[in-house]
Amino acid sequence: MAALQNSVPSLHHTLFINFFPQKGLRKHHHGAFLCCKRGVSVHVRAEQSSSAADSSSSSHFQDSCGRRQMIAAGITAPLVSIVDQTPIAFAAETKKGFLSMTDKKDGYSFLYPFGWQEVVIEGQDKVFKDVIEPLESVSVNLIATSKQDIRDFGSPQEVAETLIKKVLAPATQKTKLIGAAEHDVDGKAYYTFEFVAQAPNFTRHALSAVCIGNGKFYTLTTGANERRWDKMKDRLFTVIDSFRIFNV
């Protein structure tokens, strides 16, 4: 656990974005993390689906996605011509209601709900957010490590508790670890855990997955407002279960 404690400052610098529900971005006056505030321009990149939503989708889902796309289009229209279109990372629709993000440079992939938009944030490798529900997001962060296996940092519970208390939620929020587990995919160990973080005006219900590969400590976190957890949980578990690391 000492090794993970030593990694906390670097993780802390980049992961706080998951727990701030406002709609813009600004830098903390100490430079420790980025949080959100209205009135500051945000660079948002809309991902284009390779096909229309399946015709059997419920009208509620179609209406919701349509509303989000219209809002996102209005935000991103002035930026379309300046967005970098390099194919290092790309999205393609692979499962009903989801898009697949694959980063060939850093060696990871995951699914995210159709309609979420990419937000470019300093210190985060990748962030997608719902344009209406700001607590609904997924982010990927990675830092260099000399460790070869996530188990070198301790048990799932130990790693989860350390990250939740010192990285994934501000010290002012009351947090609770709901569960943590280990699973193996293609010989690589992953830790996943579920937790809640309670602020004065909202509670976020979140899921995280951590893994080590390519000399990096990968952290993927997704979540939603507690009031929408029952509606979103199946989609969020799909996100967390889809997270994969591959050699580059």
Q: Where are the domains of the chain?
A: 98-245
pLDDT digits (tens, 9 = 90+) for 17-50: 444 444 434 333 333 333 333 333 344 444 444 4
Question: For position 201, what pLDDT does the model report?
Answer: 95
Who wins on pLDDT, 221 or 18? Answer: 221
CATH code for the domain defined by 98-245: 3.40.1000.10
> Both tokens of residue 33?
């993390």
Tell me what pLDDT residue 127 has: 97
Q: Quote the pLDDT of residue 89.
A: 66
Burial 167-183 (b: 16+ CB within 10 A, else e): bbbeeebebebeebeee
Write down the number of H helices and E strands in the chain. 4, 14
Count, residues in the chain: 248
